[in-house]
Amino acid sequence: MDKTYDSAALAVADIASGSSLAVGGFGLCGIPHVLISALHEAGADDLETVSNNCGVDDAGLGILLGAGRIRRTVSSYVGENKEFARQYLAGELEVELTPQGTLAERLRAGGSGIPAFYTPAGVGTLVATGGLPWRYHPDGTVAIASPAREVRAFAGRDHVLEHGIVCDFALVRAAVGDRHGNLVYDASARNFNPLCAMAGRITIAEVEELVEPGELDPDRVHTPGVFVQRVVEVGTAGKLIEKRTTRPRTEP
């Protein structure tokens, strides 16, 4: 039952080239940056990532992207990353854009054993009718376009069929975890982490604080240990702020 690993390098050592990864975080909030760095050092490439966004230039998944390690990504937001845009438009990266709520539900569905579901999000758009450019040729023409989705009416309203997502591995970050893999996230760092943790066949969690089994109040646990196979304590060093916003200090 003790799922702890001595280092991030050991925890990601068997992530092979060609693996699919569900990666928690939103922007740079709650990203498993230690595990991402360890994976970068390990050298795996040809990866498919599923994440709300693909990091920023030189941070988060942007590290793997900048090294040419990501072949395909499923995301809902692709801003803040010039290298992402360059690779996509140059035909070097395949991108499946997915509405944010739909992406969250696809991860939750996959982790719950639900193969597919219907949602009204995307009806009447290219999400449903197909034709979204997934990959370009270097000359700017479309190499791969999204397929049309099944549309079905429920109570007089059209809904589009979406498939659940299950990945080979999931990388997540939590504020506190125990040796059994139970995880607690801090405030907005909860974002996509619980959903990604559900969607990985092997889920690896980096935690800022490791506690002993029984120390966590069961009512506080956001991700039960049944979803987590590996835990690494990483502390708080190296956490990034995507956009620092401050105001002038006023005199008392």
Percent of the chain scored above 90 by pLDDT?
87
Nearest to residue 229, comparing CAs of 3, 22, 15, 1? 3
pLDDT at 164 (0 to 100): 98
> H or E element: which one contains 232?
strand 230-233
Phi/psi at 117 (nearest 5 deg)?
Answer: -155, 165
Residue pLDDT, tens place only, 190-220 = 999 999 999 999 999 999 999 999 999 999 9
pLDDT at 32 over 90: yes
Mean pLDDT on 110-129: 97
56 confidence band (pLDDT: 50, 70, 90): confident
Domains, the chain, in order of start with CATH, read 8-115+164-233 (3.40.1080.10)
Closest by CA position to 77, among listed 60, 116, 231, 160: 60
**For the chain, percent helix, then strand, then coil, each to nearest 5?**
25, 30, 45
Answer for the pair 29, 52: CB distance below 8 angstroms, yes or no: no
178 in Cβ contact with 210 (< 8 Å): yes
Residues 129-139: pLDDT tens digits?
999 999 999 99
pLDDT per residue as tens digits for the range 58-88:
889 999 999 999 999 999 988 778 999 999 9
Q: What count of other Cβ atoms lies within 10 Å of the Cβ of residue 227? A: 20
